[in-house]
A and B are shown apart, each in its own frame.
Chain A
Amino acid sequence: MTPPDLAVAEKIEGPSGETEELISGSEAIAHACRLADVDVITAYPIRPYDTVMQYVSQMISNGDFDCEFIVAESEHSQFEIVKHASVVGARVFCGSSGVGWFYAFEALAVTAGLRVPMVAMVGNRALDDPGAFGVEHNDALAVRDLGWMLNWVSTAQEALDTALIAYRVAEDKRVSLPCAISCDGAFLTHSQTLVKVPSQETVDSFLPPYDRAEKQLHPDNPITIAPQVNEDWLMEMRRQNDMAMRRARGVIIEVYEDFNAKFGRGGEPFIERYMMDDAEIALVGMGTLAMPVRVAVRKMREQGKKVGFVRVRWFRPFPTIELQDAFATVHAVGVIDRDYSFGSAFHSGVLATEVRSALYPMESPPKVISFIAGLGGREVSADNVIEMADMAFDAAAGGDINEQDTHWIGVRE
């Protein structure tokens, strides 16, 4: 492994104290933790997310970052420790990958149930068994029903920016929900690109300190947290979590506006639209898949094929309105899942099920074709993307593509 110190190839001073550094997605997240002045971080090793903790621990030992850094004895403890630190008022960060995230599942459930505004990073990784280090999205997606806000980023820059945005949204009193940032294992966690690292002043002007106010557990505020409520109150509390997630949508829009103004980047909050203006068919996906898809879209555009791409950035809350808008005039949508949902309605992945559901109420919804590709970190090539786009074109033209089935791409039969 490359020691974190050697990873910085060059540092270029940018405007207003911003520097440009050649760093990986994991190091970008570590910088976000430092800039957010996170108070408690817990680590436990599992590839690929754990690189972020290697950078964090080095920053601490070098004196560049002051926080309690606790190496837990399991992922369950990792997430429980920060949950409790957050309740006494500390800003916290945590993370995991694959089965590690699943080992923490109980803690993940209560963190959302308690509306602890933790920010976590998921270095997406295939679940065991059989073992694979590569990316699949089933780890993070498993918490999609629990009250975690979930997003997928596609570059190291977006990872850093989204981590700062995540703290602001999660800690907003109108929301108070945990947020997980998904970074595709290896493709993002371990790949270096030039990243603009903002100055502390800029971050401070954007991200206020975490304030739990009347919900802080402290002898001056002797409250009882998480008692037994049973059927008397549980439903009302579930409804409060539902309302918080509904409000998150507006807060996210508001926070991106401010981020764009202060940092000069950030883009549209929920989705990225790539060559969608006159698109007849569109592909949809999440994470680093965007890179081969953009290449393929440009290639097809050169051949006069009107194809576009929508990258879903926030999966929870789900961008229903944005997707209905983006696909208002397209004839077919090809959803590329880097995950699976065995036995689901059309044996598709999770994203396809969600997209179908979101588009169903449209007056004339596009046809939805679902694909599963790139499991276990297998490369999705531009040719794979073209194959999928062609199938979507075929569906749009009324061809014999079976919409009620899911197509596995790049798989040996």
Chain B
Amino acid sequence: MPDTDVDTFSDFIATQVLDPWKGPKKVPAEEYYTSGHRTCQGCESAQLMKLMAKAGGPRSIVLGATGCMYVANTTYYSTPWAIPWMHTQLGSAGSAATGTAAGLKVMMRKGKMKKEPINVIAVCGDGGGADMGLSAISAALQHTQYNLLILLYDNESYANTDIQVSGSSPWGANSTFSPPGKVKRIMNRRWKKNTAAMLASGHPECRYVATVCTAYPVDAMNSVRKALSIGGPTFVHSLDPCPKGWDYDPMYSHELGELAVETGIWPLYEVEEGKLKMCGKSKRIVSGQFKRKPVREYLKRQGRFAHFTDEDIEYFQSKIDDMWEKWLIPGVIPFAAA
């Protein structure tokens, strides 16, 4: 560093050391996201909350942006949170994490609070994170002097408000703002935003960005633990199958999460200290050890794609093929060399 920034480094507050759990049997039984919520049956975002709270442990503060995990989770007098939790505004996950981390840091520096590493985790949905809150998350990832994690639970629509299309919804998906009709079959013509890679490539000082899926719960928890241990602002993006928004039987949540990865629609990777590592089945897709399943298997399981014609499915498949065959970094960075 050319300038020894007293504020940033001399009072550096260490993070908790949260080693990865090697397999489900090593995961402790204690829950910090408990009974009291009223999320839908098969809600994978609720599952993610449970995993995240477990991974972070009792010395954590959680900030929840408006969305399913606020409205369905925190009815007054029946909070499921055994750790401190506070609501923040829809676009404020980044700001809430920054403010909380800054407040803790300065109080500890000035001796107004006992010095100890406290996890700060802000959670937001795809509406709050990938749409409205994107600028605040981007700003949070630039403030490298604060230890915080922003966890985006992506159920691919504004599911809390009646399933409206978001910038993170798949192309063509039926939603209450993109219903197929007599004249227009495909109302949502936006391709899903590549949020995690955008944030990783746009914030090179951010030490950890990862994608996870609740179908792989131990990996998801270990990602959260790594993000909290590594220091500075970090970002984890989770794809969460949503029975209500995707229109399928709740019993298939886990299976759909797996299919999202196996079809190549949801690549799993982590960018740690500037190094990209493909994870799980996605790693095997890149190495050629695992052949991607046709997207048709994934699309046909969900009512939100029931209006798709063969042509639509082919188009969807071709876009996924491009991701893995034409992108500069398969599944991650969508440029081709000129």
Known A-B contacts A107-B89, A228-B76; the reply to A90 vs B98 at CB < 8 A is no
Known A-B contacts A72-B139, A73-B138, A88-B103; the reply to A80 vs B95 at CB < 8 A is yes
> Which residues in B have their C-beta under 8 angstroms from that of A226?
86-87
Known A-B contacts A74-B135, A81-B102; the reply to A89 vs B113 at CB < 8 A is yes
Q: Is A218 among interface residues, defined by CB-CB distance under 8 A?
A: yes
Alpha-carbon distance A81/B93, docked complex (angstroms): 10
> Which residues in B have their C-beta under 8 angstroms from that of A74?
135-136
> Which residues in A have their C-beta under 8 angstroms from that of B100?
84-85, 87-88, 217
A219 smallest CB distance to B (angstroms): 5
> Which residues in B have their C-beta under 8 angstroms from that of A5?
none
Which B residues from 79 to 122 make CB contacts under 8 A with A? 79, 81-89, 91-92, 94-100, 102-107, 109-110, 112-113, 118
Known pairs A89-B107, A224-B85 / 14 extra A-B pairs, C-beta < 8 Å: A39-B112, A66-B110, A68-B7, A85-B100, A85-B103, A86-B103, A88-B104, A89-B113, A209-B112, A217-B100, A222-B82, A222-B83, A224-B74, A224-B84
Name the segment of B55-63, B219-227, B250-258, B278-286 touching the other chain.
Answer: B55-63
Q: Is A345 among interface residues, defined by CB-CB distance under 8 A?
A: no
Partner of B70, one of A85, A107, A228: A228
Partner of B89, one of A39, A70, A106: A106
Interchain CB contact under 8 A, A70 and B96: no
Known A-B contacts A39-B106, A68-B102; the reply to A110 vs B89 at CB < 8 A is yes
Interchain CB contact under 8 A, A70 and B98: yes
Q: Is the interface of A mostly helix, strand, loop or mixed?
A: mixed
> Which residues in B have their C-beta under 8 angstroms from that of A40?
99, 102-103, 106
B167 smallest CB distance to A (angstroms): 18
Alpha-carbon distance A42/B139, docked complex (angstroms): 13
Interchain CB contact under 8 A, A227 and B112: no
Interchain CB contact under 8 A, A222 and B81: yes
B286 smallest CB distance to A (angstroms): 34
> Which residues in A have their C-beta under 8 angstroms from that of B75?
227-228, 230
Q: Is B186 among interface residues, defined by CB-CB distance under 8 A?
A: no
Interchain CB contact under 8 A, A227 and B91: no
Interchain CB contact under 8 A, B94 and A77: yes
Q: Is A82 among interface residues, defined by CB-CB distance under 8 A?
A: yes
Bin chain A's interface residue count: 35 or more
Which A residues from 348 to 376 make CB contacts under 8 A with B? none
> Which residues in B have their C-beta under 8 angstroms from that of A84?
63, 86, 88, 95-100, 103
Partner of B136, one of A77, A87, A224: A77
Q: Is the interface of B mostly helix, strand, loop or mixed?
A: mixed
A-B contact pairs, 28 of them (CB 8 A): A39-B112, A40-B99, A40-B106, A66-B110, A67-B106, A72-B139, A76-B95, A81-B99, A83-B99, A84-B95, A87-B100, A90-B103, A110-B89, A217-B100, A218-B84, A219-B60, A219-B61, A222-B84, A223-B85, A224-B79, A226-B86, A227-B74, A227-B76, A228-B70, A228-B71, A228-B75, A228-B76, A230-B76
Known A-B contacts A227-B76, A228-B70; the reply to A90 vs B107 at CB < 8 A is yes
Q: Is A1 among interface residues, defined by CB-CB distance under 8 A?
A: no
Interchain CB contact under 8 A, A39 and B92: no
Q: Is B143 among interface residues, defined by CB-CB distance under 8 A?
A: yes
Interchain CB contact under 8 A, A80 and B102: no
Q: Is A128 among interface residues, defined by CB-CB distance under 8 A?
A: no
Q: Is A413 among interface residues, defined by CB-CB distance under 8 A?
A: no
Alpha-carbon distance A84/B88, docked complex (angstroms): 8
Q: Select from chain A the residue with minimum beta-carbon distance to B89.
A: A106
> Which residues in A have their C-beta under 8 angstroms from that of B99?
40, 42, 80-85
> Which residues in B have their C-beta under 8 angstroms from that of A64?
none
Interchain CB contact under 8 A, A107 and B92: yes
Q: Select from chain B the residue with minimum beta-carbon distance to A70.
A: B102
Alpha-carbon distance A232/B91, docked complex (angstroms): 26
B326 smallest CB distance to A (angstroms): 33
Partner of B74, one of A67, A80, A81, A228: A228
A78 smallest CB distance to B (angstroms): 8
Alpha-carbon distance A229/B77, docked complex (angstroms): 9
> Which residues in A have their C-beta under 8 angstroms from that of B87?
225-227
> Which residues in A have their C-beta under 8 angstroms from that of B82?
222
B142 smallest CB distance to A (angstroms): 8
Which A residues from 45 to 76 make CB contacts under 8 A with B? 66-68, 70, 72-74, 76
Which B residues from 210 to 232 make CB contacts under 8 A with A? none
Interchain CB contact under 8 A, A88 and B107: yes
A167 smallest CB distance to B (angstroms): 15
Interchain CB contact under 8 A, A90 and B106: yes
Alpha-carbon distance A225/B76, docked complex (angstroms): 9
Contact with A along B15-46 (1 / 0, CB 8 A): 00000000000000000000000000000000
Q: Is A233 among interface residues, defined by CB-CB distance under 8 A?
A: yes
Q: Is A221 among interface residues, defined by CB-CB distance under 8 A?
A: yes
Alpha-carbon distance A84/B96, docked complex (angstroms): 6
Interchain CB contact under 8 A, B106 and A68: yes
Contact with B along A219-250 (1 / 0, CB 8 A): 10111111111101100000000000000000
Interchain CB contact under 8 A, B106 and A77: no
> Which residues in A have their C-beta under 8 angstroms from that of B59?
219
Known A-B contacts A39-B110, A72-B95, A74-B135; the reply to A224 vs B103 at CB < 8 A is no
Alpha-carbon distance A353/B61, docked complex (angstroms): 45
